C-alpha cells in the first residue's frame, strides 16, 4: 500500500551499522530522516553520504536523527565507509541499515518500477533503491516525502530548509511561502480567522489579499 503524508511511518526491526534497532524506539521523542541510497561503492552515493556526515551537526541542532538504507549488507557498509572518509573527508557518523532482504525497501516503496522483488525476477539495477527521503515527526507520522532518480544527487540544504519549515509550521499556525528560508516572513494559516490571528500575532500583519497574510516568523 502506498504511503502518504500524515500516515504513521511503518515500524520495523533491522540490523544497522550501530546494531539492531526498532525504528520507532530509535526515533524516540524527536524528529528523524530516513533515506535510501542505491548502492554502496558507487560515486553519487559516496558524495551524498559524505556530505550528510559533514551536515550532521545541522540536523542535531534541529533535534533530527538521520538513518540511511540500501540493500547492501552491514559489512559492506562498514567497508565502504572507509572510502567515504578517504574521498569526502568525513567519517560515517549516523547508522546505515543493511536491507539485504528488501524488507524495509518494500515497506517504504523505495524500489523502482518493476516486478515484486522475488528472486530471479529483478535485475541488480531493479533491486537498487531509488533516492528516497522521509522526514518523520515525534508523533511517528510522515511529514515529508521526496524521491530522486538514481542519477541525481540530493540537495541536503533543501532538505534542511524543508525541515525548518516543517518544524516551524508544526508548532505555529503558519505556512511558509515559496523559496522561504529560516528568518523570512511567513504566511498566517488560512484556517486562522482574523480575530484569533490578532491574538496570536498582536504586532499585526501585511495582507496582499484577505487569504494572503504575511507576518514575521514566530519564535
Q: Pick the catalytic residue from 45, 135, 160, 163.
A: 45
State whether residue 183 is helix, strand or coil.
Answer: coil
Q: Are 25 and 59 in contact (CB under 8 A)?
A: no
Beta bridge partners of 203: none
Of 166, 163, 25, the C-alpha closest to 9 is 25
Q: Is 194 exposed, middle or buried (0-12, 13-18, 19+ CB in 10 A)?
A: exposed
Question: How far is residue 38's CA from residue 32's CA, in Å, rounded to a whole number?
Answer: 20
Q: Does residue 51 have an active-site annotation? A: no
Positions marked active-site: 45
Amino acid at each position: 500500500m502506498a504511503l502518504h503524508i500524515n500516515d504513521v511511518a511503518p515500524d520495523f526491526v533491522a540490523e544497522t551499522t550501530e546494531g539492531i534497532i526498532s525504528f520507532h524506539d530509535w526515533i524516540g521523542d524527536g524528529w528523524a530522516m530516513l533515506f535510501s541510497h542505491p548502492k554502496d561503492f558507487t560515486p553519487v552515493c559516496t558524495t551524498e553520504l559524505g556530505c550528510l556526515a559533514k551536515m550532521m551537526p545541522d540536523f542535531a541542532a534541529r533535534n533530527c536523527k538521520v538513518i540511511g538504507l540500501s540493500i547492501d549488507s552491514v559489512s559492506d557498509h562498514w567497508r565502504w565507509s572507509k572510502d567515504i572518509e578517504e574521498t569526502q573527508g568525513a567519517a560515517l557518523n549516523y547508522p546505515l541499515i543493511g536491507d539485504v532482504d528488501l524488507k524495509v525497501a518494500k515497506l517504504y516503496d523505495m524500489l523502482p518500477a518493476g516486478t515484486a522483488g522475488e528472486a530471479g525476477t529483478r535485475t541488480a539495477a531493479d533491486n537498487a533503491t531509488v533516492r528516497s527521503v522521509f522526514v518523520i515527526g515525534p508523533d511517528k507520522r510522515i511529514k515529508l516525502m521526496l524521491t530522486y532518480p538514481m542519477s541525481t544527487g540530493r540537495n541536503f540544504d533543501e532538505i534542511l530548509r524543508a525541515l525548518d519549515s516543517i518544524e516551524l509550521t508544526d508548532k505555529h499556525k503558519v505556512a511558509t511561502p515559496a523559496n522561504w528560508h529560516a528568518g523570512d516572513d511567513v504566511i498566517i494559516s488560512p484556517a486562522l480567522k482574523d480575530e484569533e490571528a490578532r491574538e496570536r500575532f498582536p504586532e499585526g500583519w501585511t495582507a496582499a489579499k484577505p487569504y494572503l497574510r504575511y507576518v514575521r516568523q514566530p519564535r
